[in-house]
Structure 1
Amino acid sequence: MSERAVWSFDAIGTAWEIETRDPLPSSARAAVAGLVADFDAAWSRFRPDSLVSQLAREGGTIPAPRDAAAMLETYAELSGATCDAVNPLVGESLARRGYDATYSFADRGAVAAPTDWRELVRWSSDTLELRAPALLDVGALGKGRLVDLVVETLLPWAGEDLVVDASGDLAARGAVQRVGLEHPYDPARAIGVVEVTDAALCASATNRRAWGDGLHHVLDARTGEPVRAIVATWAIAPTAMRADAAATALFFEGGPELAHAWGVEWVRMTSDGRVEWSPGSKAELFT
């Protein structure tokens, strides 16, 4: 088998690798770079000039970024399934625990996200409105959404022979990808492997983006406290946004039911080392 072309770069705070049969031309790379720049300018809560930061300061109504309706409608499903444990206004909760725009990692105490977020956040295909200043965070599904957009952008050049890997969120078209499920307590080990083709696999774990005394990036929006019962999740879906969203939901009660409704295969590990999986999961588990 001939060696495949790999393009590596950093974007939205993480490492990316795009694998294709032939090297991507400069026009394809420029298209991806422009896409990532636009997404970051809209949704990054770590940039003072982003649309998200503008809404956090001022509230109000702005022209809707291209992804607003798709992401917020999925957030509504996540929130409903998890009894509001997943909430797009969790940004201030994360910032208060130290995962803020300066990456201070200084814990200033727990604060719950607004439970009436559906009244505060309004969207359509044309506009995005926050009726009061609040900090949106799309971390529950945003990276998956961007992976889908990158895949869509590259198909004219790569065809159905493409792998986009954004450090835990992977979409594969064409060849089968055999992926290890990293043990959350020992990154040198895997708890199993799974094959992915013409689908997306997204993973989340509490050992990633962790700091201080047991703090990490997966918070229960109802309390502002980090989740404890589940430590890692993996989800496979036709799109990376759905897989990413399901991987987040699986940290909470209601997550498995939502995954079932979406037709998502999943695996998750509890804090006491038990492994659970969906009916019909094709993952090969070692434990």
Structure 2
Amino acid sequence: MPHPGWQDFRFEGIGTGWEISTPVPLPPGLRSSLLAEVERYDSTWSRFREDSLVTRISVEPGQYRLPTEAAGLAALYRRLYTLTGGAMTPLIGESLERLGYDPQYSLRPRGGAAPPPDWDTVLEWHGTSLRTTAPVVLDIGAAGKGQLVDLLAGLLRSHGVSDFFIDASGDLLNGGQEAVQVALEHPYDTTKAIGTIPLGAGALCASASNRRAWDDGLHHVLDGTTGEPVRTVVATWALAESAMEADALATALFLVPAAELEQHFRFSWLKVFSNGSAEYSAEFEGALFT
């Protein structure tokens, strides 16, 4: 709980746990609206549901109309696809499923690593309009949870709730002005922290190779140019104004040097490497334990 005496609304959504903390309990109608928004988002974007739009797209190529939030996803993914030379791509789902991270959670590879198809070969995505020339497995997991955090924050504000703290299993958004001290999870031991950081108004999102790992060294952060898991970086944190941007940049930090991202985005960051070293931006106000 970010502040003593605040009330927590806890629920499960998009396959993970959520906690929304507010000074007073949220009314039942607003709670229902929040849950409905989570369900709507999941029924569109989940590749783990048979009834989702993304599952339909994976089966049948064609023209699709997407919901309003797709425009923000398309623009952000296109920028990062270009900046990373294709290493970060919304088409990474096919590579993840090949390695065993499939809708059945089999965690059994069905072949060696392979890169996903080239964006411009199979996909036209402009705003809410998407056209595919072949079945494609979209996976917007690198930005989707963060975007849903932002959508729920917008819903809270539209109902007059201005002070809140959202914790979507480590993707955090502080809707108030009072800073909250946040622990930075140890990439090799989830019961420990490697440091802390004060989170004021804005978002802090993390990505770590230990969070979804299986088999012999496989995990969910893949390089889209090879389909292989990234081995050199083990954990990243990004602070930005929106959770969607922080979420996406936390993944992008696995794939390219932070200096390349800093030329195009306003954010601060921390990056931990597999050799135990760490790098962080001048604006990153966290304290790392020695």
Q: TM-score range by the shorter chain?
A: over 0.9
Deviation at 1:88, TM superposition (A): 0.7
% identical aligned pairs = 47
Partner of 2:30: 28
User: Structure 1 residues 8, 283: CA separation in 2 closer, same or farther (over 3 Å shift)?
Assistant: same
Matched, 1:86 2:99: no
- Cα distance, 1:126 vs structure 2: 4.3
Tell me how far 1:71 sits from its aligned partner: 0.4
Q: Give how far 1:128 is off.
A: 1.8
Once the two structures are superposed, residues 55-107 of structure 1 have per-residue CA deviations (whole angstroms, 9 ceiling, x without a partner) of 11001112122221110110111111111111111101000101000000001
Mapped to 1, the partners of 2:10 and 2:219 lie a distance apart of 27
1:225 and 2:258 correspond: no
After superposition, residues 16-165 of structure 1 pair within 5 angstroms as 16-108=18-110, 109-114=112-117, 116-157=118-159, 159-165=161-167
Correspondent of 1:185 among 188, 194, 200: 188
Q: Distance in 2 between matches of 1:163 and 1:63?
A: 32
* AA partner of residue 206 (structure 2): A
TM-score (norm 1): 0.96
Aligned: 1:249 with 2:213: no
- Unpaired runs of 5+ residues, structure 1, are none
Structure-2 residue corresponding to 1:263: 266
Contact 2:6 2:22 in 1 (8 A): yes
TM-score by length of 2: 0.95
Paired residue type of 1:231: V
Q: Deviations over 1:136-191 (max 9, x none)?
A: 00011010000000000011345321001101211001131111111101222211
Alignment correspondent of 1:276: 279
The amino acid that maps onto 2:60 is E
1:191-249, Cα deviation, whole Å (9 max, x unpaired): 11111121000001000011010001101111111000000000000000000011000
Q: How big is the alpha-carbon RMSD for the aligned residues of Structure 1 and Structure 2?
A: 1.4
After superposing on structure 2, the runs of 4+ consecutive aligned residues of structure 1 that deviate more than 6 Å are none
Distance 2:174 2:188 in 1: 27
Contact (CA 8 Å) 1:172, 1:198: kept in 2 or not? yes
The code of the aligned residue for 2:106 comes to S
Aligned partners of 2:113, 2:14: CA distance in 1, in Å? 26
SS of structure 2 residue aligned to 1:140: helix
Greater Cα offset, 156-165 or 267-276: 156-165
Q: Decide which moves more: 185-194 or 154-163.
A: 154-163
Q: Which one-letter code corresponds to 2:188 in the other structure?
A: Y
Contact 1:20 1:158 survives alignment (8 Å): no
Q: How does 1:158-177 map to 2 (within 5 A)?
A: 159-174=161-176, 175-177=178-180
Indicate if the aligned counterparts of 1:205 and 1:231 stay in contact, CA closer than 8 A: yes
The answer on whether the counterparts of 1:68 and 1:123 sit within 8 Å (CA) in structure 2 is no
Q: In the superposition, relative to structure 1, how do residues 255 and 89 fare at CA in structure 2: closer, same or farther (>3 Å)?
A: farther
Q: Is the 8 A contact 2:91 2:139 kept in 1?
A: yes
SS of equivalent residue, structure 1 residue 86: coil
